[in-house]
Amino acid sequence: MNKLAVLSNVNMDPLKHVLQKENDSELYFAGYNQWQSELLNPESGLHLFLPEYIFISINAEEFQADISELFECVEFYLERHKGVHVILSNFSYPPYSVLTYTDRNALDETGLNNRLNDFASTHENVFILDFNRLIRFYGYKSLFDDKYWYLGDIKYSNQGFVVLSRELKNVMASLQNKSKKVLILDLDNTLWGGVVGEEGWQNVNLSVTGVGRIFVDFQRKIKQLQQTGVLLAVCSKNNEKDVREVFENNRSMILSWDDFIVHQINWERKSENIIQIADSLSLGLDSMVFIDDNPVEREQVSMAIPELIVPDFPKDITVLNQWFVMEVVYPFFPKQKITGEDAQKTLQYKRNIDREAIRKRLDYNLFIEQLNIKLNIFEPSVEGCHRMAQLTQKTGQFNLTGKKYTEPEIRLFLEDENTEIWACEYHDKFGNEGLIGCCIVKTEGTKAIIDSFLLSCRVLGRKVEFSFLEYVLNVLKQNGIKMVEAHYVETPRNHPAKYFYSEAGFKTEDHCKFAMTLN
């Protein structure tokens, strides 16, 4: 459950009811127009609630204060509550004015929003919810309704609140790095029009003019998504030979065979193929989205794999591209930042599959030796905190305590004298995997407690975890630590880590608490 507080200068009661129905947040709604005192008064309900997220929705027309007052109030609050994320809705005026054509800048919406954007970009915990984007998409008249303003101080329409609550959820998901990792695609009538097995690679509907542009545009969007770090996989009932012909010979194809990291092209059940895809990538099925135009296939797959996301495919394919971005990308692949490593994701996973191939041929210890693994362990820089936070959020299998941290929290650890934090980068003869491990240790005199120890599943099973831990223990010993305490906290996914500390030579104190004396 997220703890979410909502502040506004108008009545937002209907939003509370929409969010309550979703039932995935603990909510605090301040009385309306109380935003200033809620932020400034340390005894206010907001301060006592200790939210993780504060959504501030200020209606521009009714806003009497100067925007700098809003900024000061937010800063005041943030100085006292460091880990909180503040999400500000941007300002929108009605798209009409009595001044008609006389003064285009009478209501300076753009000016206000520029200041808002500047404020967000200079404060790491402040983010923008772009309500103007939603207005452009759905239309001002659909999202606002004056009737309820005059009757009850409510600005948005029913649809306005529904759309707003969805967007708020997407923004919060992006802040928690909850983006899915893999997009699995059907081919016939999904990536191109028609059935290749019947019509041949030359005749599938895919072209730079006419209706075939739908699929060219769709492929472009998928390619863009891949470059944000999403892995692509194919799951199609076809003959692989027919499919390869389209990829190799059809000049209108945007996506190449190698853009897909796994290809399951056969006549088996799709649910089986999707499980295969998850296995070969060592990723959970709940981190994947499957797109298929065929409702029967979608039904079969979502019955067999309830945790997989299987969005409904539009009946009218002319809205395919709009649908894909609004209904698939924003809800399931939302991101605040794209790191350099995101763009390399597909390559990284490909190398992993290559390593697997060698592993199958060789004796295991020999295999590890031949990899020429080099670890680089260091204290992260302030700039590196985003990646560290992302790693704690995304690592499920080898995360000893299952703790997840946000970027501001990692920064606090860096500043804290009694907390040590290490990042671990991995390199081997196939290439650089980048940041793969994180260890956070809290010290109390000569005692140290391992708060978090985690390793990306990309490098699991190569004994990297033992080398990393050994390094950490050595440094602690040099710093005068005599006793190290460690914990295993069971989560639904971290079974592979269960015996780690006992294998690493720690004494088991009870089934989840471990200790080691350093001398």
Interface ranges with another protein (CB under 8 A): 11, 13-14, 17, 20-21, 145, 147-148, 150-152, 154, 157-159, 161
With a CB cutoff of 8 Å and minimum separation 6, the contacts of 102 are none
Task: Please report how close the Cβ of residue 147 comes to another protein at its closest, in angstroms.
Answer: 6
Decide whether 148 or 471 has the Cβ nearer to another protein. 148
Task: Please report how close the Cβ of residue 2 comes to another protein at its closest, in angstroms.
Answer: 20
Decide whether 5 or 154 has the Cβ nearer to another protein. 154
Task: Please report how close the Cβ of residue 163 comes to another protein at its closest, in angstroms.
Answer: 11
Decide whether 111 or 139 has the Cβ nearer to another protein. 139
Return the residue matching tokens 């975890």: 465
Q: Distance between CA 146 and CA 59 in Å, rounded?
A: 13
Q: Distance between CA 490 and CA 402 in Å, rounded?
A: 8
Task: Please report how close the Cβ of residue 159 comes to another protein at its closest, in angstroms.
Answer: 6
Q: Is the dihedral of CA 46, 47, 53, 54 positive or negative?
A: positive
Residue 332 tokens read as 């399931």
Decide whether 25 or 236 has the Cβ nearer to another protein. 25
Decide whether 159 or 266 has the Cβ nearer to another protein. 159
With a CB cutoff of 8 Å and minimum separation 6, the contacts of 251 are none
Task: Please report how close the Cβ of residue 21 comes to another protein at its closest, in angstroms.
Answer: 7
Decide whether 98 or 151 has the Cβ nearer to another protein. 151
Give the type of residue at 87: I
Task: Please report how close the Cβ of residue 162 comes to another protein at its closest, in angstroms.
Answer: 8
Distances (CA, A) of 99 to 8, 145, 411: 28, 22, 49
Decide whether 147 or 241 has the Cβ nearer to another protein. 147
Pairing of strands 447-455, 431-444: antiparallel
DSSP 3-state of 388: helix
Task: Please report how close the Cβ of residue 25 comes to another protein at its closest, in angstroms.
Answer: 15
DSSP state of 308: S
With a CB cutoff of 8 Å and minimum separation 6, the contacts of 328 are 289, 291, 311
Q: Distance between CA 422 and CA 424 in Å, rounded?
A: 7
Residue 201 tokens read as 């690679």
Nearest residue to 59 via CA among 179, 158, 144? 144
Q: Distance between CA 233 and CA 290 in Å, rounded?
A: 9
Decide whether 19 or 285 has the Cβ nearer to another protein. 19
* Cross-strand pairs, 7: 56
Q: What is the DSSP string of 442-458?
A: EEETTEEEEEEEEE-GG
Task: Please report how close the Cβ of residue 137 comes to another protein at its closest, in angstroms.
Answer: 17
Decide whether 20 or 381 has the Cβ nearer to another protein. 20
Decide whether 155 or 458 has the Cβ nearer to another protein. 155
**Span between the terminal Cα atoms of the chain, in Å:** 43
Distances (CA, A) of 515 to 157, 439, 444, 501, 502: 59, 16, 15, 9, 9
Task: Please report how close the Cβ of residue 426 comes to another protein at its closest, in angstroms.
Answer: 50
Residue 350 tokens read as 């490909």
Task: Please report how close the Cβ of residue 166 comes to another protein at its closest, in angstroms.
Answer: 15
Q: Distance between CA 244 and CA 251 in Å, rounded?
A: 13
